[in-house]
Amino acid sequence: MIRSLTGAALLLWAGSLLAQALPASVTQALAAAHIPTTAVAVVVQPLDAPRPLLAHNAQKAMNPASVMKLVTTYAALEILGPAATWQTGAWATAEPDAEGRLSGHLYLKGSGDPKLTLENFTALLRQLRVRGIRHIDGDLVLDRSVFELPPFDPAAFDNKPLRAYNVGPDGLLLDYRALRFTLKPEGEQVRFWSETPSAGLQVEGRLTPATGPCDGWRDRLEMRQSPGRLEISGPYPVSCGERSLYLSPLAAEPHAEGLFRALWQELGGSIQGRVRSGRTPPQARLLASQESPPLSEVVRDINKWSNNVMARQLFLTLGSGEGQPSTVARARERLNRWLAAKGLEFPELVLENGSGLSRVEQISAAHLNRLLLAAWQSPVMPEFMASLPLAGVDGTMKRRLTDSAATGRAHIKTGSLDKVKAMAGYVLDAQGRRHAVTFIINHPQADMGQPALDALLLWVSQSPSAR
């Protein structure tokens, strides 16, 4: 058998023989969740060691859920640079007259900005008002041509088209194409506020206070939608306290129109025409522009809070350039070229959208481990590591492993889908030795696997290399 193995394959095989078995605390937690060890893949490797301390099913291609964001964000940091930004511009073919009237159309040209928030979009419109524009005679034309995408079905993934995480990528993504609502129980009623302005949309909240735990409260709400109207009803557990609800009831164009008209009116502006999609003419001149936060900040938002919409935007940005609109194929090709240039050959890697919100994306635990090792040696390591949730402190790990040996010592990206539970990142043990850690579960009982993941983090944080 050994004669048939060469080079890296021999090293991996030898390493698997030397690596420890799964810790007892992990196997016990898996057994309690009725998850067989054949359905999990684990790699633990000290960053200063040539081979893993622990490797189990490491070569098996598995769905990593949102842990796939590590591939996208690390690639983006190296390809684009931590200081990279996006520009959203307002263009026109004419200058405003002395009375603030703009003849013709106003063009909003997007660059795929993942974080063109309500505040940043408002800042762009304020620039236009400061520059003297008060009335637009023509249309507002939305230029999304930086991306070239097929029609997107927000119900395709899980038949929950109103959920904000199901918003598709957009060359001009305004405020994540989501509406924010605030819910708060007060006595015999539930207060309901619409936080996002949207002209022409009437929203009514009909929620009733309920007893019981807060878990899963969003799934118990009912939403009815008709043209110009959205009704949200159902029980809301008092135990939830004040919560935010993000929904995406509008397609890209009506969402942009409702947001623009509401904000433009608040700023004292008016518009004669309609809001529509189109292209910016070559003779148009730039009137104002809004710059996004730097990529280092965008990556923190993506990984700390596992933002799927932003991750898709970032993935597609990798395919932009050379005067051509980005496509999924171009983004995938650019990322694969980057991997190859770094000597990271991942033949099993499947990228659909770069966010992990996918049934087909896959990678092995061994190659996620190699990615973590490469990132640790990269010039962008500080920005990459700082983007990962810190156990017991912030992001998706804020409520996990609090007051434990892993608190504040584990920078971990989490991932969760139906039948998938995963994590990957870095853990500092009690002796000051840092480890790359990857754990993936693909099984119908995966949702019950969190105690096993936490058990591994505790095991690593308590100096496994000293045992």
- Position 466 scores a pLDDT of 54
- CA angle at residue 198 from 195 to 201, to 5 degrees? 110
pLDDT exceeds cutoff 90 at 12: no
Sheet containing 222-226: order of strands: 202-210, 229-237, 222-226
In terms of Cβ atoms closer than 10 Å to its own Cβ (0-12, 13-18, 19+), residue 83 is exposed
Residues 391 and 319: their CA atoms lie apart, in Å, by 33
Scanning 98-221, the segments in alpha helix (DSSP H) are 118-130
pLDDT exceeds cutoff 50 at 143: yes
pLDDT band at 19 (very low <50, low <70, confident <90, very high): low
Ranges assigned E (strand) in 93-149 = 101-102, 106-109, 135-136, 140-143
Residues 348 and 346: their CA atoms lie apart, in Å, by 6
- Position 322 scores a pLDDT of 76
Closest CA to 463 of 430, 428, 426, 427: 430
Cross-strand partners of 326 = 147
Residues 246 and 162: their CA atoms lie apart, in Å, by 9
pLDDT exceeds cutoff 50 at 329: yes
In terms of Cβ atoms closer than 10 Å to its own Cβ (0-12, 13-18, 19+), residue 129 is middle
DSSP code for 419: T
Scanning 33-117, the segments in alpha helix (DSSP H) are 69-80
CB under 8 Å to 86, separation ≥6 — which residues? 111, 112, 113, 114, 115, 116, 291, 292, 317
Q: Mean pLDDT across the stretch 390-396?
A: 97
DSSP code for 395: G
Q: Mean pLDDT across the stretch 338-361?
A: 98
Which domains are assigned to the chain?
A: 2-82+296-466 (3.40.710.10), 87-152+251-293 (3.50.80.20), 179-247 (no CATH)
* Largest Cα span, the chain: 84
CA dihedral 407, 410, 416, 419 (to 10 degrees): -100
CA dihedral 355, 361, 364, 365 (to 10 degrees): 30
- Position 467 scores a pLDDT of 56
Closest CA to 165 of 308, 264, 376: 308
Instruction: Report the chain's mean pLDDT, rounded to a whole number.
Output: 94
Please write the tens of the pLDDT for every residue from 189-216: 999 999 999 999 999 999 999 999 999 9
pLDDT band at 18 (very low <50, low <70, confident <90, very high): very low
CB under 8 Å to 56, separation ≥6 — which residues? 19, 21, 22, 37, 40, 41, 42, 43
Contacts 24+ apart (CB under 8 A), 341-348: 342/374, 344/370, 344/371, 344/374, 346/370, 348/61
Q: What is the DSSP string of 232-260?
A: EEEEEEGGG-SEEEEE--S-HHHHHHHHH
pLDDT band at 321 (very low <50, low <70, confident <90, very high): confident
- Position 459 scores a pLDDT of 97
How many Cα atoms sit within 13 Å of 276 on the Cβ side? 9
With b for 16 or more beta-carbon neighbours within 10 A and e for fewer, the 240-274 pattern comes to beeeebbbbbbebebbbbbbbbbbbeeeebebeee
pLDDT band at 20 (very low <50, low <70, confident <90, very high): confident
In terms of Cβ atoms closer than 10 Å to its own Cβ (0-12, 13-18, 19+), residue 201 is buried
Residue located via tokens 């070569």: 59
Closest CA to 459 of 37, 67, 44: 44
Q: Mean pLDDT across the stretch 98-105?
A: 96
pLDDT exceeds cutoff 70 at 13: no
- Position 10 scores a pLDDT of 41
- Position 464 scores a pLDDT of 75
Element (DSSP H or E) covering residue 304 = helix 295-305
Residues 137 and 101: their CA atoms lie apart, in Å, by 7
- Position 463 scores a pLDDT of 79
pTM, rounded to two decimals? 0.94
